[in-house]
A and B are shown apart, each in its own frame.
Chain A
């Protein structure tokens, strides 16, 4: 599909908007529908779309496998780290009230980092799955 002009132009046009939408869904998740799970999937879908149009090597250049694998683990660690931060500041595990100056601000901060961790892991897993299935050739 690399030679199709229409697909190439459309893909280049859509890519920034899809990624922007993923970021919007991530950070606007508190006020509208959205959050880490959706943002991760949408962000991964943007890269998958790009790799389908321009070929797998181009996609791998955009999001190298090493980075994707690191994202996979970093998300879970970030999530667990927020929980440990709660303990370090004198609360329970995953206790957000102690994270900020007042309880509501603490909740905000806790939810923000949790969602970031979820988005990282989900995006990483989705991309990695796509690479694994697409990168395997059919020969036995």
Chain B
């Protein structure tokens, strides 16, 4: 996966970048599945590798491929990103170890969802239960965001004939 990302950063032909990003999404989906996130992996595979690839290719056909110029000064951005990474690595030392069952994330709300969720909602898939029921407001907001983004694209790309005349 890391190799794909490096290849994406170095590649200048935009078409190969798009194809690589699709492969990257698929790899990401397998990683997410290995982390027990079946619903998320499914979404990532369908969205990342499927739909966003089609959208990127569609946009690519409109704007034309090929990045014109090589990097002028790669040193400064690289230094900046690595500095951000160093700060993150420093913060990392304060996090609980991976898969520690006593980490705060596993002791707060999750046990209640897992224990009471199926009883209260009658839905064994806890992810669906939390998504639609416990966090219904969140999901309503997300749906509205998706709707608004769609409306924004329509507003931007709708053909305006009268203006040109």
Which residues from chain A sit less than 8 Å from chain B, CB to CB? 25, 29-38, 41-42, 44-45, 48, 52, 69, 72-73, 75-76, 79-80, 83, 94, 96, 103-105, 107-108, 110-111, 114-115, 117-118, 121-122, 124-126, 128-130, 132-134, 136, 138
Contact of A31 with B59 at beta-carbon distance under 8 Å, contacts A94-B140, A107-B133, A125-B150 already known: no
Collect the chain A residues with CB atoms within 8 Å of residue B54's CB: 48, 52, 130
- Contacting pair B139 A44 (CB below 8 A): no
- Contacting pair B55 A133 (CB below 8 A): yes
**Which of B62, B125, B151 makes the CB contact (< 8 A) with A138?**
B62
Chain A residue nearest to B151 (CB atoms) is A72
Collect the chain A residues with CB atoms within 8 Å of residue B159's CB: 136
Q: How far is the CB of A26 from chain B (nearest CB, A)?
A: 11
Interface: B105 (CB within 8 A): no
Interface: B143 (CB within 8 A): yes
- Contacting pair B146 A121 (CB below 8 A): yes
Per-position 1/0 for B25-41, Cβ under 8 A of A:
00000000000001101
- Contacting pair A134 B58 (CB below 8 A): yes
Chain A residue nearest to B56 (CB atoms) is A133
- Contacting pair B123 A73 (CB below 8 A): no
**Which of A33, A124, A129 makes the CB contact (< 8 A) with B38?**
A33
Contact of A111 with B143 at beta-carbon distance under 8 Å, contacts A41-B46, A132-B153, A136-B157 already known: no
Q: How far does the alpha carbon of A91 sit from the alpha carbon of B50 in the complex, in Å?
A: 40
**Which of B62, B127, B143, B154 makes the CB contact (< 8 A) with A76?**
B143
Count of chain B residues with Cβ under 8 Å from any Cβ of A?
Answer: 44
- Contacting pair A79 B140 (CB below 8 A): yes
Q: How far is the CB of A7 from chain B (nearest CB, A)?
A: 16
Q: How far does the alpha carbon of A108 sit from the alpha carbon of B55 in the complex, in Å?
A: 35
- Contacting pair B121 A107 (CB below 8 A): yes
**Which of B46, B50, B120 makes the CB contact (< 8 A) with A107?**
B120
Collect the chain B residues with CB atoms within 8 Å of residue A128's CB: 150, 153-154
Collect the chain A residues with CB atoms within 8 Å of residue B147's CB: 72-73, 75-76, 121, 125
Q: How far does the alpha carbon of A94 sit from the alpha carbon of B133 in the complex, in Å?
A: 8
- Contacting pair B128 A44 (CB below 8 A): no
Interface: B19 (CB within 8 A): no
Q: How far is the CB of A86 from chain B (nearest CB, A)?
A: 10
- Contacting pair A75 B143 (CB below 8 A): yes
Q: How far does the alpha carbon of A108 sit from the alpha carbon of B119 in the complex, in Å?
A: 12
- Contacting pair A111 B121 (CB below 8 A): yes
Per-position 1/0 for B50-73, Cβ under 8 A of A:
110011001101101000000000
Interface: B74 (CB within 8 A): no
- Contacting pair A42 B46 (CB below 8 A): yes
